[in-house]
Amino acid sequence: MAAESPVQDGVTSLTLPVLGMSCAACQLHVEQALKSAPGVTSAQVDLMRHRAHLSFDPSRINPDGIVQVIRDSGYDAVLPREGAGAAQDAPEEGRQGLKAALTLATGAVVMLLAMPVSMAEDAPMGAADHALMQLLPWLYNLPHMPLRWVLLVLTVAIAAWAGRPIYASAMRALGHGETNMNTLVGLGTAVALVSSAAETVAPWLNQPVYFDSVLLILGFLLLGKWLEGRARHSALAAIDTLAHLLPATARVRREIAGRPGEFAEVVVPLDEVHPGDLVMVLPGERFPVDAAIEQGRTTVDESMLTGESLPQERGVGDAVLAGSLNYDGAVAVRARSIGADTTLAQIARLVEAAQGSRAPMQRLADRASAIFVPVVLGLALVTFVVWLAVTHDAARAIASTVAVLVIACPCAMGLAVPAALTVAVGRAAQLGVLIKGGEALERLAGITALAMDKTGTLTQGKPELVSSTTLGGWPETSLLRMAAAVEDHSAHPLAHAVVAHAHGAGLRWAAATDVQVVPGRGLTGTVEGHECLLGNLELFADQFVPIPEAAEIAPPAAGVTRLWMTLDGKLAGYFDARDTLRARAAAFVAWLKDAGLSVTMLTGDSASAAGPIAAAAGVTDVAAGLLPADKVARIRAMQADGKRVAMVGDGINDAAALAQADAGLAMGAGAALAQEAGDALLLTDDLAGVVNAIALARATTRVMRQNLLWAAGYNVIGIPLAAGVLLPAFHLSLTPWMAAAAMAFSSVSVLGNSLRLRRWRSPI
Write the CA distances from 61 to 43, 54, 72, 85, 627, integer angstroms. Answer: 14, 12, 15, 23, 48
Q: Left (φ > 0), alpha (ψ -120 to 50) or beta: where does 506 sit?
A: left
> If you average pLDDT over residues 28-48, what whole number do you get?
89
* Maximum average pLDDT range among 129-133, 392-396, 585-589: 585-589
What's the angle, vertex CA 561, arms to CA 555 and CA 566, rounded to 5?
A: 75
Q: How far apart are the first and last CA of the chain?
A: 35
More confident residue, 414 or 6: 414
C-alpha 69/C-alpha 34 separation (Å) is: 7
Phi and psi at 263, nearest 5°, equal: -125, 155
C-alpha 110/C-alpha 211 separation (Å) is: 7
Q: Is 122 known to be catalytic? A: no
| Nearest CA among 1, 35, 36, 5 for reference residue 17 | 1
pLDDT at position 122 over 80: no
More confident residue, 448 or 306: 448
C-alpha 498/C-alpha 642 separation (Å) is: 42
pLDDT (0 to 100) of residue 524: 93
Cβ partners under 8 Å of residue 260, min gap 6: none
pLDDT at position 303 over 90: no
C-alpha 423/C-alpha 700 separation (Å) is: 9
For residue 590, the number of C-alpha atoms closer than 13 Å in the C-beta half-sphere is: 8
What's the angle, vertex CA 319, arms to CA 463 and CA 281, rounded to 5?
A: 150
The three-class DSSP label of residue 208 is coil
| Percent helix, strand and coil across the chain, each to the nearest 5 | 50, 20, 30
Query: Measured in whole angstroms, how far is the alpha carbon of residue 166 from the centre of its chain?
Result: 30
pLDDT (0 to 100) of residue 635: 94
pLDDT (0 to 100) of residue 123: 43
Are the C-beta atoms of 334 and 252 separated by less than 8 Å?
A: no
Instruction: Out of 210-219, 345-354, 608-617, pick the least confident.
Output: 345-354
pLDDT (0 to 100) of residue 503: 92
> If you average pLDDT over residues 715-737, what whole number do you get?
76
Q: Left (φ > 0), alpha (ψ -120 to 50) or beta: where does 258 sit?
A: left
Burial of 313-337, coded b for 16+ CB within 10 Å and e otherwise, reads: ebeeebebbbbbbbeebebbbebbb
Write the CA distances from 553 to 444, 482, 604, 633, integer angstroms. Answer: 46, 22, 22, 33
> If you average pLDDT over residues 633-645, what whole number do you get?
95
Write the CA distances from 113 to 155, 218, 389, 396, integer angstroms. Answer: 12, 18, 31, 21
More confident residue, 3 or 283: 283
Exposed / middle / buried, residue 680 (Cβ in 10 Å: 0-12, 13-18, 19+): buried
Q: Is the dihedral of CA 314, 315, 319, 320 positive or negative?
A: positive
Other CB atoms within 10 A of residue 276 CB: 8
189-241 pLDDT, tens digit per residue, is 998 899 888 888 887 767 777 888 889 889 888 888 888 887 777 777 777 77
C-alpha 230/C-alpha 226 separation (Å) is: 6
Are the C-beta atoms of 630 and 451 separated by less than 8 Å?
A: no
Active-site option among 46, 453, 650, 679: 453
What secondary structure does DSSP assign to 696-756, as a single string?
HHHHHHHHHHHHHHHHHHHHHHHHHHHHTTTHHHH-----HHHHHHHHHHHHHHHHHHHHG
pLDDT (0 to 100) of residue 84: 44
| Nearest CA among 640, 631, 663, 648 for reference residue 589 | 648
Other CB atoms within 10 A of residue 212 CB: 26
69-81 pLDDT, tens digit per residue, is 998 888 888 886 6
More confident residue, 367 or 498: 498
Are the C-beta atoms of 748 and 224 separated by less than 8 Å?
A: yes
Q: How confident is the model at residue 86 (pLDDT cuts 50, 70, 90)?
A: very low
> If you average pLDDT over residues 316-326, what whole number do you get?
90
Which H/E stretch holds residue 522? Answer: strand 522-527
Mean pLDDT of all residues belonging to the chain: 84
Q: What are the structural domains, with CATH classification, of the chain? A: 12-77 (3.30.70.100), 90-235 (no CATH), 249-341 (2.70.150.10), 434-455+583-695 (3.40.50.1000), 464-578 (3.40.1110.10)
The three-class DSSP label of residue 559 is coil
For residue 288, the number of C-alpha atoms closer than 13 Å in the C-beta half-sphere is: 24
Q: How confident is the model at residue 83 (pLDDT cuts 50, 70, 90)?
A: very low
pLDDT (0 to 100) of residue 2: 41
Instruction: Out of 69-78, 303-312, 678-687, 723-732, pick the least confident.
Output: 723-732
463-518 pLDDT, tens digit per residue, is 889 999 998 788 999 999 999 999 998 878 889 899 999 999 999 999 999 999 88
pLDDT at position 673 over 60: no
373-391 pLDDT, tens digit per residue, is 889 999 999 999 999 998 8
553-602 pLDDT, tens digit per residue, is 788 888 888 899 999 988 899 999 988 888 888 999 999 999 999 999 99
Cβ partners under 8 Å of residue 504, min gap 6: none
